[in-house]
Homo-oligomer: A and B are copies of this chain.
Amino acid sequence: MKAHLQQYLTSLALLSEADVHYSLAAFSPISIKKGNFLVRQGEVCDQAAFIVIGGVKSFSSDKTGNENIICFRFENEFTTSFESYFFRRPSPKSIQAIEACVLLRITPARLRNLLERIPAWDIILQELVRQELIAREKYLLAYHNKPAREKYLLSLQQAPDLVRRVRAADLASYLGITERTLTRAKQEAR
């Protein structure tokens, strides 16, 4: 169950074997169904999760319920509403399972404990934040200010697995276009 996380933490080469072991104990496994929420926009996020199986989407939604997806996460990635989790503020976004998921969760309290006992966790978190920033910038630099067809072709090229895996409506939201426009782009690509 925790084998993937164990391997992930080991591969970072920042923790001793004992540290990895101690760290694993701080995570609790949970299975959730497709459609369940890890966090709801406006609520304080009290968990970060390592995804063992499945995938999630992060998004904001307006009063009319339109979803604005800004990121997906899958196996062997962490997911949380970063600001909300660390600063205990209402979350600006929701995180929802787009597939049945198996997660390893950790509460802020347990994470604080890890940080006190194992200083290297500080490095790990720094790196996660950095990667997250780089990912957001990469998205903006590549997709922002591009017409729909180009964005679709780009996603096909840069993230074919994502295109295959998420449903059309979610991919469209991520690309900042409507489902109808995505269909047209697909059709023209044939």
User: Which A residues are within 8 Å of any B CB, using their own CB?
Assistant: 60, 66, 68, 70, 82-83, 92-93, 126, 129-130, 132-134, 136-142, 144-146, 173, 176
Q: Which residues of B contact A126 (CB under 8 A)?
A: 126, 129
* Known contacts A126-B126, A126-B129, A133-B129, A140 near B83 by CB under 8 Å: no
B93 touching A145, Cβ below 8 Å: no
Q: Is the CB of A141 within 8 A of B173?
A: no
In the A-B complex, list the 6 residue pairs whose CB atoms are closest, starting with the nearest.
A68-B145, A60-B141, A136-B136, A133-B133, A70-B140, A145-B176
Give Cα distance in the complex from A78 to B117, angstroms: 33
Copies of this chain in the oligomer: 2
Given A66-B145, A126-B129, A140-B136 contact (CB < 8 Å): yes
Looking at chain A's contact residues, the main secondary structure is helix
A-B contact pairs, 23 of them (CB 8 A): A60-B141, A60-B142, A68-B140, A68-B141, A70-B137, A70-B140, A70-B141, A70-B144, A83-B134, A92-B138, A92-B141, A93-B141, A126-B126, A126-B129, A129-B130, A132-B133, A133-B136, A136-B136, A136-B137, A136-B140, A140-B140, A145-B176, A176-B176
Inter-chain contacts of A146 with B (CB < 8 A): 68
